[in-house]
């Protein structure tokens, strides 16, 4: 996983990270020292790896392709499917306008059949 650091003059105290297209994007204040930033990046990277639990967006895309072939004879299409850390009240969502499917990252720890059920529902 590649780490992309984005510094911001507007950000004052917090360091935040999220996964975007398989890359760890770290948002940090412009004033933070390199040593302190390296400590934060190391900690955030370890936390993201633990949170992913072996399932990543590539795994999700492979499962969606498999389920599409199995249940829909490959008739369905979408532009992107990914895990989302921002979904706290839903397990999945589909945006019809741009063809994106988001699956809650909480399902990474669920049994595979539960994740499959939500993916099929969103397809």
- Mean pLDDT for 8-31 is 86
Give the structural domain span for 102.
57-122
- The model's pTM: 0.55
- Dump pLDDT digits (tens) for 29-70: 998 899 998 998 888 888 877 666 666 778 888 888 999 998
Average pLDDT over every residue of 91-115: 85
| Domain total of the chain | 2
Verify that 70 and 86 share a domain, yes or no. Answer: yes
Sign of CA dihedral 72, 92, 101, 45: negative
Residues 108, 92 contacting (CB under 8 angstroms):
no
Residues 76 and 46 in one domain: no
């Amino acid at each position: 996983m590649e780490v992309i650091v984005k510094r911001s003059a507007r950000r004052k105290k917090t360091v935040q990270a999220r996964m975007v297209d398989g890359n760890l994007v770290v948002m940090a204040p412009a004033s933070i020292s390199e040593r302190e930033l390296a400590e934060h990046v190391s900690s955030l990277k370890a936390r993201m790896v633990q949170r992913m639990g072996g399932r990543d967006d590539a795994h999700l895309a492979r499962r969606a392709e498999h389920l599409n072939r199995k249940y829909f004879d490959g008739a369905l299409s979408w532009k992107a499917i990914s895990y989302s850390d921002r979904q706290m009240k839903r397990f999945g969502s589909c945006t019809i306008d741009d063809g994106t499917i988001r699956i809650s990252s909480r399902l990474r720890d669920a049994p595979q059949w539960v994740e499959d059920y939500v993916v099929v529902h969103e397809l």
